[in-house]
């Protein structure tokens, strides 16, 4: 049998059914690994003190009823911007240090209802402001592949938790790359849902018009299983779609991709991109062809325009969302905001101010509409498009210093899809310099089943699901 930390959701449930191990065994195994490695990697900020008690309850249920819930006894890591009753939630900001929520986020409540065990809360960029996890007020998370490098962000802690095998599954959230980019840098799989497919209720907001929670896991299959649980209409979030959630597992295990049309976005092969990274994307295109798909070069708006558009929209919404943190009702005073958060508030306030709203915010929204229309035309012909998630592999620690636009530059290839509310999977497609590179497979709104099916077929027919030997790394 595999080591417990290498098991997928299905393998964990098989082990429970066969009485190979108990939920208490599995949770204790992960807690032991966290105790051994977390002091170096800085992945978990807080642990669930009741995890073993909850595991014992899961064991009792398994003995009495069997595996009757889809996530029964599955250990989860949860990004620290999801409100969790009984566990501190800080969004990695000193302004919320010691804050204990009075209610549960919809996403975490749904996984708990499905039987999951939350191990703890993972590090992130402060208020999700960044793409490196270096803006955290509690120190950066280190990349398990190379502790001298960044894990990406803002869901860097969650991606690193899966890469270091300190949880079976993790929850992240994405505003413009914050699931797919850290998944790429850490060599794991992340699913970004369509806007409105999953509830934002109980998630500390960054940019309300693009924020979405999603799973980070060992495989596309595990992401699909979790997505079935956390997606769907929520009466507490009016932006959630009433469209019924598909049974994503039914779209898995396809033998080939015959009849599927995929667009290879030529603008996403950036002039500044390393040749070896470009080659991995071209190799992925050839793999899709070998699986029966039609792959053709397509053209989209130059991704450089997404930087300005996303910057204006996100900063404006950040300025509005963070106005509630005034140090009066809860939290500490506003001088506890980190420098990156202060910059974003200032720029957002400026773009929304009298005399500048039309020049900046309104224009950014007009460009966003053009992007949405362009994607709409693309998906009339193609089922999905592909490209790199990030221009290169994980960057060294300190790369964000004096780089106020670091996140926008590193997320340049995924910002358009987030702005347009599309769905996408980021998954490994190869290695350069011993570091993983991520491939994005992006589809139309609410086309998760199609994207998951394509991604699963690619993943099962490649061999890029590798994990670092952290005994040697640290």
Residues annotated catalytic, as ranges = 79, 154, 178
Full strand arrangement of the beta sheet holding 75-79: 44-47, 117-122, 75-79, 169-174, 212-217, 189-192, 423-432, 435-443, 384-388, 261-265, 294-298
- The angle formed by the CA atoms of residues 313, 314 and 319, to the nearest 5 degrees, is 105
Pairwise CA distance, residues 7 & 169, whole Å: 10
Backbone φ/ψ region at 342: left (φ over 0), alpha (ψ -120 to 50), beta? alpha
Q: What is the DSSP letter of 118?
A: E
Using the structure block, give the residue that is written with the tokens 């809860």: 330
DSSP3 helix / strand / coil % (the chain, rounded to 5): 40, 15, 45
Q: How far apart are CA 48 and CA 54, in angstroms?
A: 10
What SS3 state is found at 388?
strand
Dist. CA 326–CA 469, nearest whole Å: 44
Instruction: Give the H/E segment covering residue 374.
Output: helix 363-378
Side-chain-facing half-sphere of 28: CA atoms under 13 Å:
8
Instruction: Find tokens 């190869």 and name the residue.
Output: 430
- Cα separation of 48 and 465, whole Å? 29
Answer whether 58's CB lies under 8 Å from 68's CB.
Answer: no
Half-sphere exposure of 371 (CA within 13 A, CB side): 25
Question: Which SS3 state, helix, strand or coil, does residue 15 take?
Answer: helix
Structure tokens at 187: 């060599």
State the pairing for strand pair 212-217/169-174: antiparallel
Tell me how long the chain is.
474
State the Cα angle at 192 between 389 and 80, rounded to 5°: 105
Compute the C-alpha angle 92/214/36, nearest 5°. Answer: 55
């Amino acid at each position: 049998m595999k080591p417990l930390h290498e098991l997928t959701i299905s393998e964990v449930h098989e082990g429970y059914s066969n009485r190979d191990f108990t939920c208490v065994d599995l949770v204790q195994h992960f807690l032991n690994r966290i105790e051994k490695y977390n002091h170096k990697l800085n992945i978990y900020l807080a642990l669930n003190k009741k995890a073993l008690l909850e595991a014992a309850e899961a064991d009792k249920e398994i003995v009495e009823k069997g595996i009757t819930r889809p996530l029964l006894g599955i250990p989860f890591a949860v990004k620290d911007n999801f409100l969790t009753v009984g566990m501190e939630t800080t969004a990695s900001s000193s302004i919320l240090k010691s804050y204990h929520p009075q209610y549960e986020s919809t996403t975490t409540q749904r996984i708990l209802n499905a039987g999951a065990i939350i191990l703890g809360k993972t590090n992130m960029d402060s208020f999700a402001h960044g793409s490196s996890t270096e803006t955290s007020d509690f120190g950066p998370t280190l990349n398990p592949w190379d502790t001298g490098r960044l894990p990406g962000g803002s869901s860097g802690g969650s991606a690193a938790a899966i890469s270091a095998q300190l949880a079976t599954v993790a929850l992240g959230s994405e505003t413009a790359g914050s699931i797919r980019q850290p998944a790429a840098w850490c060599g794991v799989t992340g699913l970004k849902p369509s806007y409105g497919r999953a509830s934002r209720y109980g998630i500390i907001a960054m940019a309300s018009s693009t924020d979405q929670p999603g799973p980070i896991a060992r495989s596309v299959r595990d992401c699909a299983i979790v997505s079935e649980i956390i997606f769907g209409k929520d009466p507490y979030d009016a932006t959630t779609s009433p469209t019924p959630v598909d049974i994503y597992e039914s779209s898995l295990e396809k033998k080939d991709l015959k009849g599927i049309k995929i667009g290879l976005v030529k603008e996403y092969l950036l002039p500044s991109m390393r040749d070896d990274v470009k080659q991995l994307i071209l190799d992925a295109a050839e793999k899709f062809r070998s699986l029966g798909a039609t792959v053709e070069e397509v053209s989209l708006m130059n991704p450089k325009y997404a930087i300005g558009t996303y910057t204006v929209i996100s900063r404006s919404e950040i300025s509005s969302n963070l106005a509630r943190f005034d140090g009066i009702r809860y939290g500490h005073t506003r001088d506890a905001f980190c420098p990156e958060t202060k910059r974003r508030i200032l720029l957002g306030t400026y773009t929304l101010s009298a005399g500048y709203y039309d020049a900046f915010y309104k224009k950014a929204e007009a460009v966003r509409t053009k992007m949405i229309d362009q994607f709409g035309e693309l998906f009339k012909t193609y089922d999905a498009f592909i490209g790199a998630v990030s221009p290169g592999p994980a960057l060294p620690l300190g790369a964000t210093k004096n780089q106020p636009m670091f996140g926008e530059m590193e997320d340049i290839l995924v910002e358009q899809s987030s702005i347009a509310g599309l769905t996408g999977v980021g998954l490994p497609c190869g290695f350069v310099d011993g570091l993983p590179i991520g491939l994005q497979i992006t589809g139309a709104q609410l086309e998760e089943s199609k994207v998951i099916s394509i991604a699963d077929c690619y993943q099962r027919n490649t061999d890029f699901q590798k994990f670092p030997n952290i005994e040697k790394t640290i």
